[in-house]
Amino acid sequence: MHEEDYGILWKHTDFGADHSEIRRSRRLVVSSFFTIGNYDYGLFWYFYLDGTIEFETKLTGTLYLRAIHEGEETQYGALVLPVSTE
């Protein structure tokens, strides 16, 4: 959980008083990560000062690699790199 800047929330200029007011927007970020197999999933909830709530998922991970014998067929996946035994 952390808070981060999110740009300008509002700005107003009073030309009669030659004065400007500006407020920055902040958002509270609540996040969680979990791993299934070889992949990591990030869940992010964003809570804004104007009452808006946003949800985002981020997917990451690496290829699940394993060695197979030459000529062996696999039900899942694809051959990434053939290896020469010479």
pLDDT band, residue 73 (cuts 50/70/90): confident
Is residue 77, in this structure, part of any structural domain at all? no
Is residue 84, in this structure, part of any structural domain at all? no
**Three-state secondary structure string covering the chain:** CEEEEEEEEEEEEECCCCEEEEEEEEEEEEEEEEEECCEEEEEEEEEECCCCEEEEEEEEECCCCCCCCCCCCCCCCCCCCCCCCC
Is residue 37, in this structure, part of any structural domain at all? yes
Is residue 67, in this structure, part of any structural domain at all? no
Q: How many domains does the chain have?
A: 1
Q: What global pTM score does this model have?
A: 0.62
Parent domain of 27: 2-61
Is residue 72, in this structure, part of any structural domain at all? no
Is residue 68, in this structure, part of any structural domain at all? no
Q: Pick the more confident residue, 40 or 66.
A: 40
